[in-house]
Amino acid sequence: MNLNSHAIFTLYAVYGILLKGISGQHPLVQNVTVTEGGTANMTCRVEYNDNTSLQWSNPAQQTLFFGDKKALRDNRIELIRASWSELTISIHDTTLFDEGMYTCSLFTMPVKIAKAYLTVLGVPEKPKIEGLMKPAVEGDQITLTCLTRGSKPAADLRWFRNEKEVKGAKEVNASGNTFTVRSSLQLHVDRRDDGVAYTCRVDHEALLQAPQQTTEVLEVHYAPRVEIAHSLAIPQEGQYLKLDCVSQGNPSPDPVMWTKDGVEISDLGRVIVEGRELTFTSLNKTDNGTYRCEASNHLGTSSDEYVLYVYEEPTTLPPSTTLPFHPTSPDSTALVGTHATDSTVTGYRDPNALAHHGTDHALIGGVVAVVVFVTLCLIIVLGRYLARHKGTYLTNEAKGADDAPDADTAIINAEGNHAHAEEKKEYFI
């Protein structure tokens, strides 16, 4: 290689190093997002720096740090690292006013700059629920309003009814650098809303770790509804029976009133009134009647009735009328409260079975009545017939006495007639 060639190679090498240095001397930055009140770290880096200083400036173009030298008197701003290749600063307790475009400058010829945007998120306040009526009355129309202030950007509000989301009407208003958000929920209140928890939750990127929400439990007053529950399907003499007056209302309709056939019931030994319960310790026929339970509160009155009919005490059927118990027999399903012993059944038949047998008895009785009637008619006709023929016979017997002068002669004539009649039938051989 001659001298000229060596000089040219050296020139190209130096030129390449200069180009690489120039291209590497460019500051690199990134945008930063921080929650209001948090700490923002701003970093500026450069490659192949030839001992050129770096500088950070705020959106108002005020120098914050030049190298490791602090230029702005703000105790919230601190130096994290300063070298020829990096300048990192931190801003504590950030406010919405710290938001903006920050500039990193590399003092080459010419000066090279890079810009990073600092976003400060406004944290929404804990939501408040307004418009709640305590208590509400069934049938009312109410509007629940959820309100939150201070969000940036505007927060989103969501409603939940017992953890199931429901749709509300959202409204957003700007308040300086932040937003006030409202969401309204229209309710037509009924008894199903009593005790329901309505929750308003704020969704916002500043609250990803700890969402804000408020819950209110709705209280609804409504008129009572009453229903009588009983412990026996077929009440029988001597049994224990309890009637329970199940009432739902708010406020609770206590106490309830029990009546029998329109007369208020009081404790009578066997019949015990205890709050909502009416207890019969040993049923008998005198307990038959219509029992009524009535409950009231300031919104209304409700009642229910139970008709009690006490059946006779179960007895064992006589051997001649004891029915065989066949589980597969169609009639086996008609027995109620039965007990199977030695292939016999002791107890009552249910009302449907009794009605069925009553119908059969009525049919048999009708047939018997018709037969008796026909028999009587035949006896009457036969009697009349026999009476008529007897008169004719007596008349024929008396014909021989018509011409007799006295009774003795008439008798002789009559006997003679018979004698002659017999004589006419005699033959001699």
- CATH architecture of the region 223-308: Sandwich (2.60)
Domain parsing of the chain, residue ranges: 18-121, 128-218, 223-308, 319-352
pLDDT tens figures, 261-317: 988 887 556 788 888 889 999 899 989 999 999 999 999 999 999 999 999 876 644
Q: What is the pLDDT of residue 58?
A: 95
- The per-residue pLDDT for 354 is 41
219-268 tens-digit pLDDT: 999 999 999 999 888 999 999 999 999 988 999 888 888 998 988 887 55
Task: Give the mean pLDDT per block of 10 residues along the chain (429 residues).
Answer: 40 40 73 95 87 91 93 93 92 95 92 95 94 89 95 95 93 92 94 93 88 92 92 90 91 87 76 88 91 92 93 61 37 33 35 46 80 88 76 49 53 48 41
Residue 10's pLDDT is 40
Of 20, 39, 22, 42, nearest to 31 by C-alpha is 42
pLDDT number for residue 384: 81
Q: Answer whether 18-121 and 128-218 agree in fold.
A: yes
Positive/negative CA dihedral, 336, 339, 341, 346: negative
User: Which of these CATH numbers, 3.40.50.300, 3.30.365.10, 2.60.40.10, 1.10.8.80, describes 128-218?
Assistant: 2.60.40.10
Q: What is the reported pLDDT for 359?
A: 54
The pair of three-digit structure tokens given for residue 406, joined into one six-digit string: 């006295």
CATH superfamily of 18-121: Immunoglobulins (2.60.40.10)
User: pTM of the full predicted structure?
Assistant: 0.58
C-alpha triplet 160, 162, 163: angle, nearest 5°: 55
Return the pLDDT at 264: 86
**pLDDT at position 24, please?**
54
Distances (CA, A) of 271 to 259, 275, 327: 12, 13, 39
3-state secondary structure of 175: strand
Structure tokens at 191: 């008894």
Question: What is the distance between the alpha carbons of residues 168 and 175, in angstroms, rounded to a whole number?
Answer: 22
pLDDT at position 360: 61
Exposure on the CB side of residue 49, measured as CA atoms within 13 A: 21
